[in-house]
């Protein structure tokens, strides 16, 4: 059984990455924060008595389910209500920045301004393309390469077969590579 300290340490360790992953999915910082907080609360309330080793896959599954629930609620809300503010252009959307995760890295401080700007542009374009991927491809890609889960863990979190995870990841990688090549960012 995980102690309160182990549970707290685990939640601290996944907080930022989970938030960033959820922002990629929902494209809304406030909603992403709510989803991550709800997922953390569910883990603590329902699974706090589980061994510490079982917490990572449980949390990822809860986070995925909570994110899907958010999408379902949004779809229902849109079907039932027409919000006039949704018809206005949204110029205030904030950009997410992968570079903030690299802020503590030594190589970032020694890079030239041109290299830093080039890297920032490439990461911005990758983020843009990630947002365009279908939900299941984006989820599989982020779990495998952002969360660094293996195929079996990803399949367990997504509730699908390992072959499906491989297919989703392959399609996501092909789409990202195609976009980067078309923009001259990859050979």
How many beta carbons lie within 10 A of that of residue 129, not counting itself? 18
132 contacts: CB under 8 Å, gap ≥ 6: 175
Q: Is the pTM of this model over 0.75?
A: no
Does the domain made of 112-182 have the CATH classification 1.10.10.10?
Answer: yes
Measured in whole angstroms, the distance separating CA 83 from the mean position of its chain's CA atoms is: 27
Contact 61, 156 (CB under 8 A): yes
Q: Which residue has the higher pLDDT, 151 or 103?
A: 151
Q: Which of 15-24, 117-126, 170-179 has the lowest mean pLDDT?
A: 117-126
- What does the pLDDT read at residue 107? 44
Question: What is the mean pLDDT of the segment spanning 26-44?
Answer: 93
Q: What is the Cα 7 distance to its own chain's centre?
A: 21
Q: Which residue has the higher pLDDT, 100 or 181?
A: 181
Instruction: Please provide the CATH number assigned to the domain covering 1-82.
Output: 1.10.1740
Q: In angstroms, rounded to a whole number, what is the distance separating the alpha carbons of residues 155 and 139?
A: 11
> What confidence tens digit (pLDDT) does each residue in 112-163 have?
777 777 777 777 877 888 888 899 999 998 888 888 888 998 999 899 999 9
d(CA 51, CA 37): 21
Residue boundaries of the structural domains of the chain: 1-82, 112-182
| Cα dihedral value 173, 13, 107, 175, nearest 10 | 10
């Amino acid at each position: 059984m995980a102690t309160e300290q182990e549970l707290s340490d685990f939640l601290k360790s996944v907080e930022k990455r989970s938030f960033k992953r959820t922002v990629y999915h929902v494209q809304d910082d406030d909603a992403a924060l709510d989803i991550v907080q709800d997922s953390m609360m569910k883990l603590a309330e329902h699974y706090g008595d589980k061994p510490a080793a079982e917490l990572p896959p449980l949390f990822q599954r809860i986070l995925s389910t909570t994110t899907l629930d958010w999408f379902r609620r949004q779809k229902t809300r849109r079907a039932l209500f027409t919000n006039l503010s949704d018809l206005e252009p949204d110029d205030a959307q904030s950009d997410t920045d992968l570079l903030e995760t690299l802020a503590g890295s030594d190589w970032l401080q020694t890079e030239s301004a041109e290299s830093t700007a080039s890297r920032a542009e490439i990461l911005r374009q990758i983020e843009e393309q990630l947002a365009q991927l279908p939900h299941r491809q984006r989820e599989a890609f982020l779990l495998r390469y952002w969360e660094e889960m293996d195929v079996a863990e990803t399949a367990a979190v997504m509730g699908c077969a390992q072959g499906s995870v491989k297919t989703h990841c392959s399609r996501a990688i092909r789409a990202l590579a195609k976009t980067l090549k078309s923009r001259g960012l990859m050979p």
